Structure 1
Amino acid sequence: MQFTAESYSNEPVRYPALHAMDLFAEGAAVTERYRNMVLNRVNDSCLRLAVFDETYRWHFHPTSDELFLVVDGCLAIELPGGRELRLKPWQAVTIPAMTHHRTRAIGRTVNLCFEKRGAETVFIDSP
């Protein structure tokens, strides 16, 4: 499965410039097991809020770095070769473009993600 830059570019932005965002309330309002939404745009990048309690598929982004900032819970980011990063609240890491990775929530996890708006996601079976 592959999402195109065009499909990501068409995602609605929840908050335009000059509107305050209540990130705590946005995260608390999510009841689905997985929710990933664009909150705001900054130049050619976007701020996403991801709330989930499961494992996301192996994937990579061909042309965009991706910065994860955990605000609640614990996020494991699996990398090729068995390496794993575990982020707790207010810890962050940047995953460079073309890096194969898979995110896994340890319990319910709320994180912010900064990436190029319209970033393509390419799913793979395993690294």
Structure 2
Amino acid sequence: MTCSTGLRWPLGARVSRRGGLQQPGYPHGPDTPSAEDYAAERARFAALELVDLHALERAVTEPYKNQVLVNSNGECMRLAVFEGNYRWHHHPRSDELFLVVSGELHIEFADRPDAILGPLQCMVVPAGTLHRTRAVGRTVNITFEQQCAETVFVEPPPGRWSRTSPFRSTD
């Protein structure tokens, strides 16, 4: 499947030599995949191939890793292992289902109270909903979304600035 994305970057963001997004205060560094790379990533495993989630999770040593494992019916399943904050964003045409495997995942929203998910809890974030995920310690979650889902990164909504915001001003 070939993916085409219409990506928009937040004010103040720069693209690194490797195509990764650089943002002031972003905890995962400039070598994380760009939104285009994220959307275009292909599944690591084919249909009928056994996937050992526990072994894949144990193999992650970096503070952020999000990878497409399998595709099914136009959707992809991702394994995300991370610490800290992800960027504020939304997916214009794709719901996103989060299923926590271990740790604690906070899903912050612009217009409603935050959700806190623990192991074996899940939540669907509807398409177009502005959100950001925040891992408390090392958190492992499975996400399901459309293959090639467009991601639009945005500035934090008013009142959602914090010391740990990836868009925190360094002025």
| Structures share fold, TM-score greater than 0.5 | yes
Matched, 1:98 2:136: no
Higher helix share: 1
In the aligned structure 1, how far is the partner of 2:109 from the partner of 2:155? 13
User: Is structure 2 residue 159 aligned with structure 1 residue 125?
Assistant: no
Task: Measure, in 2, the Cα distance between the counterparts of 1:14 and 1:36.
Answer: 12
SS in 1 for 2:55: helix
Pair 28,102 (structure 1): closer, same or farther in 2 beyond 3 Å? same
Residue 80 of structure 1 and its aligned partner are, at CA, apart by 1.1
TM norm structure 2: 0.70
Give the C-alpha shift of residue 11 in structure 1: 1.1
Aligned length: 125
Q: What does residue 35 of structure 2 align with?
A: 3
More strand by percentage: 1
Q: What is the CA distance between 1:13 and its match in structure 2?
A: 1.2
* Corresponding position: 1:25 with 2:55: yes
Q: CA deviation at 1:82?
A: 5.8
Q: Which has the higher contact order (CA 8 A, sep 6+)?
A: 1
Larger Rg: 2
CA contact (8 A) 1:8 1:120 kept: no
Say whether 1:14 aligns with 2:44: yes
Q: Which amino acid aligns with 1:110?
A: V
Q: TM-score, normalised by structure 1?
A: 0.93
Q: What's the RMSD between the two structures over aligned residues?
A: 1.4
Deviation per CA, 1:9-38: give whole Å up to 9, x if none: 531211100001000111111011000000
Percent identical among aligned pairs is 52
Tell me by how many angstroms 1:107 deviates. 0.5
CA contact (8 A) 2:100 2:122 kept: yes
Secondary structure of 1:28's aligned partner? helix
Name structure 1 gaps, 5 residues minimum: none
CA offset at residue 3 of structure 1? Answer: 2.9
